[in-house]
Amino acid sequence: MNVINDLLKIIGDFIAGIINSIFSFSPFLADVVTMGLAAVILCTFAALSFMGLTYVERKVVARIQDRVGPNQAGPLGLLQPLADGIKMFTKEDTTPAAADRWVYNLAPLVIAVFALTTYAVLPFAPGVVGTNLNVGVFYIIAIGSGSIVAIIMAGWGSNNKYALLGAFRTVAQLVGYEVPMLLNVLPVVMIAGSMGLTDIITQQTTLNGNPGIPFIVFFPLSALVFLISGIAETARSPFDLLEAESEIVAGFHVEYSGMKFALFFLGEYVNALAVAFVFSTLFLGGYAGPVLPPYIWLLLKAAAVFFVFMWLRGTLPRIRVDQMHNMNWKFLVPVSIVHLVVVMALMKLFVTNPAQVQANGGILVTPGVQAAILFTASIAILIGSLVIAARRARIMRLQEEAVLEQRRAENIAAVSV
Amino acid sequence: MRTDFAFVGVMLVTAALLMGVTLIAASLLRPKKPSKAKLETYECGMETVGDTWVQFRVQYYILALVFVLFDIEAILLFPIAVAFNSLSFFAVANVILFIVVLLIALLYAWRKGALDWE
| Amino acid (1-letter code) at residue A169 | R
| Amino acid (1-letter code) at residue A127 | G
Residues A149/A112, Cβ–Cβ less than 8 Å: no
* Of the partner residues B13, B92, B107, the one whose CB lies closest to the CB of residue A348: B92
Q: How far apart are CA A239 and CA A271, in angstroms?
A: 15
Q: How far apart are CA A354 and CA A373, in angstroms?
A: 18
Structure ipTM: 0.87
Return the CATH fold of B2-111: Methane Monooxygenase Hydroxylase; Chain G, domain 1 (1.20.58)
Query: Considering only CB atoms, which chain B residues are within 8 Å of A182?
Result: 70-71, 74
| Amino acid (1-letter code) at residue A241 | L
Task: Encode pLDDT of A168-218 as tens digits.
Answer: 888 888 888 888 998 899 999 988 888 888 888 888 887 666 677 888 888
Confidence of residue A374 (pLDDT cuts 50, 70, 90): confident
Query: Considering only CB atoms, which chain A residues are within 8 Å of B8?
Result: 117, 120, 131, 133, 139
Nearest C-alpha in B relative to A253: B42
In percent, the amount of chain A with pLDDT more than 70 equals: 96
Q: Find the angle CA(A73)-CA(A78)-CA(A81) to the nearest 5 degrees.
A: 80
Residues A129/B73, Cβ–Cβ less than 8 Å: no
Q: How far apart are CA A113 and CA B77, in angstroms?
A: 29
Q: What is the pLDDT of residue A246?
A: 63
Confidence of residue A279 (pLDDT cuts 50, 70, 90): very high
Q: What is the pLDDT of residue A245?
A: 64
* Of the partner residues A38, A131, A333, the one whose CB lies closest to the CB of residue B4: A131
Q: How far apart are CA A8 and CA A131, in angstroms?
A: 15
Predicted confidence (pLDDT) at residue A409 exceeds the cutoff of 80: yes
Task: Encode pLDDT of A143-170 as tens digits.
Answer: 888 888 888 888 888 877 788 888 888 8
Task: Encode pLDDT of A396-407 as tens digits.
Answer: 889 989 999 999
Higher-confidence residue of A2 and A221: namely A221
**Domain parsing of chain B, residue ranges:** 2-111
3-class secondary-structure state, position B114: coil
Predicted confidence (pLDDT) at residue B1 exceeds the cutoff of 60: no
Taking all residues of chain A, what is their mean pLDDT, rounded to a whole number?
84
Task: Encode pLDDT of A85-112 as tens digits.
Answer: 888 888 888 787 777 888 888 888 898 8
Predicted confidence (pLDDT) at residue A121 exceeds the cutoff of 80: yes
Predicted confidence (pLDDT) at residue A387 exceeds the cutoff of 90: yes
Is there a contact between B8 and A133 if contact means CB atoms under 8 Å apart? yes
* Of the partner residues B14, B41, B84, the one whose CB lies closest to the CB of residue A190: B84
Residues A232/A184, Cβ–Cβ less than 8 Å: no
Top-confidence range, A4-8, A68-72, A147-151, A306-310: A306-310
3-class secondary-structure state, position B72: helix
Pairing type for strands A350-351 and A363-364 reads parallel
| SS3 track for chain A | CCCCCCHHHHHHHHHHHHHHHHCCCCHHHHHHHHHHHHHHHHHHHHHHHHHHHHHHHHHHHHHHCCCCCCCCCCHHHCCHHHHHHHHHHHCCCCCCCCCCHHHHHHHHHHHHHHHHHHHHHCEEECCEECCCCCCHHHHHHHHHCHHHHHHHHHHHHCCCHHHHHHHHHHHHHHHHHHHHHHHHHHHHHHHHCCCCHHHHHHHCCCHHHCCCCCHHHHCHHHHHHHHHHHHHHCCCCCCCHHHCHHHHCCHHHCCCCHHHHHHHHHHHHHHHHHHHHHHHHHHCCCCCCCCCCHHHHHHHHHHHHHHHHHHHHHHCCCCCHHHHHHHHHHHHHHHHHHHHHHHHHHHHHEECCHHHHHHHCCEECCHHHHHHHHHHHHHHHHHHHHHHHHHHHHHHHHHHHHHHHHHHHHHHHHHHC
Confidence of residue A308 (pLDDT cuts 50, 70, 90): very high
Quick one: average pLDDT of B51-70? 80
Nearest C-alpha in A relative to B62: A172
Which whole-number Å values give the CA distances from A45 to A3, A52, A168, A364, B19, in the listed order?
22, 10, 32, 45, 14
Which whole-number Å values give the CA distances from A213 to A75, A91, A145, A382, B100, in the listed order?
42, 50, 30, 21, 30
Confidence of residue A6 (pLDDT cuts 50, 70, 90): confident
Q: What is the pLDDT of residue B45?
A: 66
Residues A215/A282, Cβ–Cβ less than 8 Å: yes
Q: What is the pLDDT of residue A227?
A: 92
Q: What is the pLDDT of residue A208?
A: 67
Q: What is the pLDDT of residue A304?
A: 92
Q: What is the pLDDT of residue B37?
A: 72
Task: Encode pLDDT of B7-49 as tens digits.
Answer: 888 888 888 888 888 888 888 888 877 777 777 777 666 667 6
Confidence of residue A384 (pLDDT cuts 50, 70, 90): very high
Query: Considering only CB atoms, which chain A residues are within 8 Å of B31?
Result: 90, 92
